[in-house]
Amino acid sequence: MTEVNGELIGGRYRRIELIGQGGMGRVWRGRDETLGRDVAVKEVTFPQGITAEQREVLLQRVTREARAAARLNHPGIITVHDVVEHQGAPVIVMEYVTGISLASLIAQSGGLPVRTVAEIGKKILQALNRAHASGIVHRDLKPDNVLLMDDRVIITDFGIAHMADSTMALTHTGTIIGTPAYMAPEQLAGKTPSAATDLWALGATLYSAVEGQPPFTAETFTALVLAVVTEDPRPALRAGSLGPVLAALLTKDPAQRATAAQAQAALEQAERTGAAVPVPIPTQVDSAPSPAFVPTPDAFTITAPARPSSPPLSHFPPPPAGSPYPQGAIPVGPGTRTLPGPAVARTWRFVGCLALLWITGLALPWNDLADTVRFGYLSLDIVFTLAVALLHALPRPGWHPGACWAAVVVLDTALLFLTKQLVAQLLGMQPEHVTIGFSLAPLPLIFNVLILATGAWLLWWKVPGSRPA
């Protein structure tokens, strides 16, 4: 298929610019010349090496899938306007959404607030319920296929959805459609996808949204598939009250997985009060799953205090939050770990920054913190390092990590210069005759600031309980 901008497709839809592409095709921003509106034009790419007969079968199936998706009238499902054939391949014309994808927002923020993720999950689940009621399983739900626009949460890419009652596969035998990190174990094993398959993908998507990374990662495709099928998800550090429902959705046996109704109740509770609710697991008489697949019901009871309301979806990216983690004793279930409170996190950051200051001042050859101690300025050194460590222990704003690091660099540079001026005034000396133990010559200053700022930033980023949730 050609990729000419301005080409008219179906005698009506003009391609304007390429806005995305993946394994299943390309998406263009287009223009509906008849109605005078912007549309998204998705060109479906067929696998290489297929026969003409296979191509015809795929063309008919994708067309049928697109028409099925067009019947899904729901604000949480992208609207399909038309499906046409162009140069022997199907083209799906959809609603043009200007919002950001959930994947992009996760990459920017490193993880979203718990209540915001609960709100997103609730809206995704409502859309999935609508599709499942029509016999449609998405099969490839993931953060890239979730768009956020104003107060809408929109699932896209239903073009590869599989009709639950169909008897013919969309692709030839052996081909995996979807992203393994978000695909259910039974789907990777080649079993027929069902509504429970999408619920697993929902759990993996929400896990990624709150934790900033998928529940399973590996260096190779094969290792990733094995991890999804055989291993438990990585422990959730930031999920808080979402921990129980995430663990219930990520149960490997679909018969033991949380139902849509159970997940809906848990997400609504987490959004409304910040508290977790028990997620009972349905029992199956004729088939007992492996113990590794079945979390015990008691493990899903987590009590968390109510927290301030999260921002509405129209205010993405999320503003800074206060205390991000629930405090107090919390029973820990599979995939969920109790986080230290903000006070403990601040203490660890303070101790780490203080140690970094003294190590930098004493160990690096261009600094002279040891000389200031010998000359009787130990008390000034202690006050200076304590003050700087305290400032670095304060909670960081919920900015992009790069912006936070740059802000710390500027802060540390200003602190070193201001401290030297203040010490000079206290001692009644000229600033050029005063040393604070850290060289302010241009090159040493750059190294000092980079070491201190990066160390403080890493402590904030890595110490559990430090980042906004």
Residues that are catalytic:
140
Nearest CA among 123, 122, 389, 145 for reference residue 266: 122
Strand order in the sheet with 146-149: 100-101, 146-149, 152-155
Two tokens, residue 386:
């304590």
195-211 and 260-273 are packed helices; what angle lies between their axes, rounded to 10 degrees? 20
CA distances from 64 to 82, 177, 251 (A): 12, 17, 32
| Greatest C-alpha distance within the chain | 91
Q: Going by C-beta distance under 8 Å and a sequence separation of 6 or more, which residues neighbour residue 167? A: none
Two tokens, residue 192:
């027929």
Please indicate if the annotation marks 42 as binding a ligand: yes
User: Is the peptide bond between 254 and the residue preceding it cis, with omega within 30 degrees of 0?
Assistant: no
SS3 sequence of 91-119: EEEEECCCCEEHHHHHHHHCCCCHHHHHH
What distance, in Å, lies between the first and last C-alpha atoms of the chain?
A: 45
Residue pair 174/233 in contact (Cβ under 8 Å)? The answer is no
Please report where in the chains the tokens 């030839």 appear, as a residue: 172
Exposure string for 293-320, b = 16+ CB within 10 A, e = fewer: bbbeeebbebebeebeebbebeebbbee
Which residues on neighbouring strands pair with residue 243, listed in sequence order? none
Q: Report the binding-site residues.
A: 42
Q: Report the binding-site residues for ATP.
A: 42
